Copies of this chain bind each other. A is one copy, B any other.
């Protein structure tokens, strides 16, 4: 199979980091790039560049790009904008294929100088066939090749990072970093990620085309402030969304948000209504936060397609049940009253009299045996009246006094239930307030994630993710686009 165009961005065989000062006493972002690449196991040659020369972290520093003895595919620029036209000329002379301009100070600033510099840099790139990532962005993260922009992305083992099915295209570097941490903590790993800033040359449509063709990318996530070429983006998105799920967080939906897009990445935000309409038209999944990109991806990756919206919630606490019912209903799932035969079985399992705790949500008695919890989940999962079995846990409502005798055995029984249940079974692990409970919640989450469960931080986030998953699949079916 032919590699999709732009594959060279993610698989450079050698790269230069420009601006790595040998003065390590001052904060030095170029040095962070160098350290990240070296720690994350980037396999090609790495050449630090700085006029002062010398040596750093075991690497020889070259005074200029032209002084590098070997071939250079890819350049990371962390020098001031005014010096970048010269760098582009050097790159052209050296036969560089791609320049990532971490550098900012171009069209996103108020000064005309910035716009002029962006124009100048672009002109040299166009003339020499160099493609530009950015400017004003964090660039590429590709776990497979070890190309990265931060050394401490989590993962087991931490370096090299683990590749996965999510491709992320993000106009913001910080938001993409947040998304990486949130996703990997919940067992969703990345094929490729690009933080692309001002998009002076390569833009959202180029990256979207690439991710659509990239066989390693199964789901595409996007954080967008604005698009460079609206017509092209519409065509590209239509093709992409027919082929793979595309989950889009369009930020800058308010007036001051839109103004901030302009100052952040010189983007024209576009009206919220227009975006909503065309995302719907193409069956792209619209979300409202970076977390929600992870929430929906998680549902699509870890859970089977639900047959419908009929959800049962099993948890502990009547008040939590009331909130759960509101949350599910507001997310357009339905919470049917459980059929009386199911309720009778639950009463028999728990040895309770005809009670109201099993109407739906199911308020599992906290002091009952873990075996009865398992039997209850089985009963719910077996019922024809139910499409989705949602579990919720609030570890610190139990209290840490219950850690050993209740909480830990419960966790094991959830893992056992997960093996039995074939319907989608999202697990909600509520945020905890106390440090001890947070620590325990982190351990529990790790266990759940390792077992392949889809873990959500709140009932609302799980319910919204299931709703959007359902909407997406229903619409595909309606369009005759079954299977992915």
Which positions in A face B, CB cutoff 8 Å? Answer: 27, 29, 32, 105, 108-111, 136, 150-152, 154, 170-178, 181-182, 184-185, 223, 225, 251-257, 259-265, 289, 316-326, 328-330, 334-335, 337, 353-357, 359-361, 363, 367, 394, 396-397, 399-401, 405-406, 430-435, 437-438, 442, 457
Contact = CB atoms under 8 A, between A and B. Distances in A.
A175 B320 contact: yes
- Residue from the set A323, A400, A434, A435 with the largest chain B CB neighbour count within 10 Å: A323
B108 A317 contact: no
A108 B356 contact: yes
Contacts of A170: 319
B251 A151 contact: no
B321 A359 contact: no
A354 B322 contact: no
Identical copies of this chain, number = 2
A261 B320 CA distance: 11
A172 B251 contact: no
- Residue from the set A260, A337, A394, A405 with the largest chain B CB neighbour count within 10 Å: A260
Contacts of A399: 150-152, 177
Nearest to A265: B318
A326 B254 contact: yes
Given A178-B396, A260-B361, A367-B27, A317 B173 contact: yes
A288 B146 CA distance: 44
Contacts of A105: 353, 355
A335 to B, nearest CB: 4
Contacts of A326: 251-254, 256-257
Nearest to A457: B431
A316 B174 contact: yes
Given A27-B367, A150-B401, A152-B399, 20 more contacts: A111-B353, A150-B399, A172-B319, A175-B317, A175-B320, A177-B399, A178-B396, A181-B432, A181-B433, A223-B319, A225-B322, A254-B326, A254-B329, A256-B329, A257-B323, A259-B359, A260-B322, A260-B359, A264-B318, A438-B438
Nearest to A359: B263
A321 B265 CA distance: 11
A317 B397 contact: no
A323 to B, nearest CB: 6
A317 to B, nearest CB: 3
A313 B172 CA distance: 18
